[in-house]
Structure 1
Amino acid sequence: MKNLIKIVPLVAALSLVSCKKDQSADQLIVKEETTATAPDSVSTEAQAPTQDATLVTADDRASEAQSKPLTTVALSESSFEFGKIKKGDHKEHTYEITNTGKNPLIISQVKPGCGCTVPDYTKDPIMPGKKGKITLKFDSSNFDGLVSKQAEIYANVEKAPMVITFTADIQP
């Protein structure tokens, strides 16, 4: 019993010493985490304005046309079928857009659904009664089978964005 009474304070003392070591270790870890996260948070903060600026820029382009006097348009077609094409082929199709309204048509952006499609379009204002072009260039390298893609057209029309689509059946 006397030995037990001597051991209990010894165990308690060792526990306190080991707690202090753990606390020091925790403090070191906290300091390391603070040091480790500080550069990350700085880099995140540095990246945040860029991402916001990108979003604002895209919104600005989309709303740029909407801020102009509205007009009406007619598309030659809103969808196109390439049919069967070989994997790796690069295809393109041009959609004709006619300004049927009384104000100049301004296409501010054509935004494809993915990186496999690259748009090109009439950048100058399209006067009433005149026609412009929207070309979608498609790279089929990363696809197999039936594919359907789309692009959004941002312009000074009431229902923007307008959507154009195409399909392709990609063969090996």
Structure 2
Amino acid sequence: MKKTLSIIALSVIAFGTVSCKKENKETAATETAVAPADSSAVTTPAPMGDSAATAPVSEQTVAANPASKQPLTTIALSESNFDFGKIKKGDKVQHVYEVTNTGSNPLVISEVKPGCGCTAPDFTKEPIMPGKKGKITLHFDSTNFDGNVSKFADVFANVEKMPIKLTFTANIQP
């Protein structure tokens, strides 16, 4: 009798797990796509055994990118690529990328993530009102490089197509 109940219980649990996996994947995709920008964080438990690639949006992910909670807006960049030209090895240079909020909602830049440790970002932290400008500055330390280099930083903000990629190049001379 105990064996039979155990088998039934395991079958129900196994069936429920398989069913939940499929349902959670579909639910996560739907909730991510249609959740209103100002709604609270979408939390769906991660299915057992699934890889991180198929895990749904968690509170931690949303909290790490507060711009995702903001209504969407649009942005215009003065430029997305800059060439420092020839610089001496060891020089520390910087470039300011100007951003303009071309939408009707405040623009919130939540993070600027450089591609490597040689680049450090600074950016306008407060919301940029419609029609106003903000700045993203990338600082580059050329100490460990020779010749032509190309670097980037990803900008995360409350815009439809994220991340926004800023790039720069330099020809580092000895």
Under a length normalisation based on structure 1, what TM-score does the superposition of the two structures give? 0.65
Rounded to whole Å, the distance in 2 between the matches of 1:85 and 1:113 is: 20
- Relative contact order, CA 8 A, sep 6+: which one is greater? 1
In structure 2, relative to structure 1, the CA distance for the partners of 1:141 and 1:91 (3 Å cut) is same
Structure 1 residue 108, shift from structure 2 partner: 0.2
**Matched residue, 2:135:** 133
Rounded to whole Å, the distance in 2 between the matches of 1:160 and 1:122 is: 17
**1:73-92 equivalences in 2 (<5 Å):** 73-92=75-94
Residues 1:94 and 2:92 aligned together: no
Larger Rg belongs to:
1
Structure 1 residue 171, shift from structure 2 partner: 0.5
Contact (CA 8 Å) 2:62, 2:69: kept in 1 or not?
A: no
Rounded to whole Å, the distance in 2 between the matches of 1:128 and 1:153 is: 18
Q: Which amino acid aligns with 1:108?
A: S
**Matched residue, 1:105:** 107
Rounded to whole Å, the distance in 2 between the matches of 1:106 and 1:136 is: 18
**1:139-154 equivalences in 2 (<5 Å):** 139-154=141-156
Output one character per residue of 1:17-62: Cα deviation in whole Å (capped at 9) or x when no partner: xxxxxxxxxxxxxxxxxxxxxxxxxxxxxxxxxxxxxxx8676333
Q: Which amino acid aligns with 1:81?
A: D
Q: Which amino acid aligns with 2:165?
A: V
In structure 2, relative to structure 1, the CA distance for the partners of 1:58 and 1:116 (3 Å cut) is farther
Q: Secondary structure at the match of 1:160?
A: coil
The percent identity for this pair of structures is 68
Residue correspondences, number:
117
Residues 1:60 and 2:58 aligned together: no
Unaligned stretches of 5+ in structure 1?
1-55
Q: Which has the higher helix share?
A: 1
